[in-house]
């Protein structure tokens, strides 16, 4: 009996060990390029490890049963007439409930840190009239947020392109240029069907809905070029509906902005 529980403990610790090792050493996600991304990846890692433990454990249990309890050639008759075990069933009701509850609360915390639970403040004075109802995606508060230092961009999506309107510069661009480490606030509206704004490296996505503006805020943390991908089926060329977001140093961004701007307003 002691021997049996020794093996059980050995197997369970091996499952945990393997799951933690895979969880910490296998990276399945793209580059982290926004404040959101490391928070997201933290949640991913936890869910990945818990998932691995359950999956590997269940798979071992099934395969072990198939080997250990397979019917041998000389065997006839039935297995043991075990119809249930109330305490065991209570255990595997309560433990998953606790795990699920903890995951739920933890992901609420993650979502809050991403800024998802914040009510939107009306810093978008130039785009929002009071009567207009705006639906929020993640309204992330940046760590190094400076008042009035937010970059506001109006996004219009149509079959099959994104257009980025910089109200302060009064120009429209097909690429989204943003300065690194600055909070970007986007008001998005669709001209035709539903589209979605997705930057995998930022771990953010928000549908762009006709007749219903949506807002998405983010803060890029890494200079580079990343794809903006439409994630909602929008017609035949849906797969080709992509744009570039170019995250650059503030000085480079200012140069680009000044080159394009029609007014003399500086950032």
Q: Do residues 223 and 38 touch, judged by C-beta distance below 8 A?
A: no
Among 128, 125, 166, CA closest to 148: 125
Does residue 209 belong to the site contacting another protein (CB under 8 A)? yes
Q: Do residues 22 and 44 touch, judged by C-beta distance below 8 A?
A: no
Q: How far is the CB of 154 from another protein (least distance, A)?
A: 17
Task: In whole angstroms, give the CA distance from residue 220 to residue 203.
Answer: 11
Does residue 234 belong to the site contacting another protein (CB under 8 A)? yes
Task: In whole angstroms, give the CA distance from residue 43 to residue 110.
Answer: 7
Nearer to another protein, 107 or 258 (CB): 107
Region of 181 on the Ramachandran plot (φ > 0 left; ψ -120 to 50 alpha; else beta):
left
Out of 1, 3, 25, 71, the only residue in the binding site for another protein (CB under 8 A) is 71
Query: DSSP label at 210?
Result: B
Among 198, 180, 197, CA closest to 189: 197
Does residue 61 belong to the site contacting another protein (CB under 8 A)? yes
Only one of the segments 15-23, 39-47, 144-152, 176-184 lies at the binding site for another protein (rule: CB under 8 A); that segment is 39-47
Only one of the segments 87-95, 122-130, 165-173, 257-265 lies at the binding site for another protein (rule: CB under 8 A); that segment is 87-95
Positions in 107-166 near another protein (CB under 8 A): 107-108, 110-111, 114, 116-117, 135-138
Does residue 74 belong to the site contacting another protein (CB under 8 A)? no
Nearer to another protein, 109 or 149 (CB): 109
Does residue 70 belong to the site contacting another protein (CB under 8 A)? yes
């Amino acid at each position: 009996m002691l021997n049996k529980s020794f093996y059980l403990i050995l197997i369970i610790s091996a499952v945990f060990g393997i799951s933690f090792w895979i969880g910490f050493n296998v990276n399945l996600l793209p580059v982290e390029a926004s404040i959101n991304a490391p928070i997201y990846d933290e949640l991913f890692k936890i869910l990945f490890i818990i998932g691995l433990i359950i999956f590997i454990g269940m798979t071992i249990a099934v395969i072990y049963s198939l080997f250990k309890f397979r019917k041998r050639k000389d065997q006839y008759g039935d297995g043991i007439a075990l119809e249930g075990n109330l305490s065991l069933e209570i255990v595997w009701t309560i433990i998953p409930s606790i795990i699920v509850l903890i995951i739920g609360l933890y992901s609420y915390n993650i979502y809050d840190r991403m800024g998802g639970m914040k009510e939107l403040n009306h810093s978008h004075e130039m785009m929002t009239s009071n009567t207009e109802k705006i639906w929020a995606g993640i309204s992330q508060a940046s760590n190094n947020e400076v008042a009035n230092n937010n970059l506001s961009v109006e996004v219009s999506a149509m079959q099959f392109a994104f257009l980025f309107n910089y109200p302060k510069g009064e120009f429209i661009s097909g690429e989204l240029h943003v300065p690194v480490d600055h909070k970007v606030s986007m008001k998005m509206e669709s001209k035709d069907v539903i589209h979605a704004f997705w930057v995998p490296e930022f771990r953010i996505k928000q549908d762009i809905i006709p007749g219903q503006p949506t807002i998405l805020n983010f803060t890029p943390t890494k200079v580079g070029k990343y794809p903006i991908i439409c994630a909602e089926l929008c017609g035949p060329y849906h797969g080709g509906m992509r744009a570039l977001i170019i995250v650059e140093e503030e000085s480079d961004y200012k140069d680009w902005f000044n080159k394009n701007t029609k007014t003399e307003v500086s950032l």
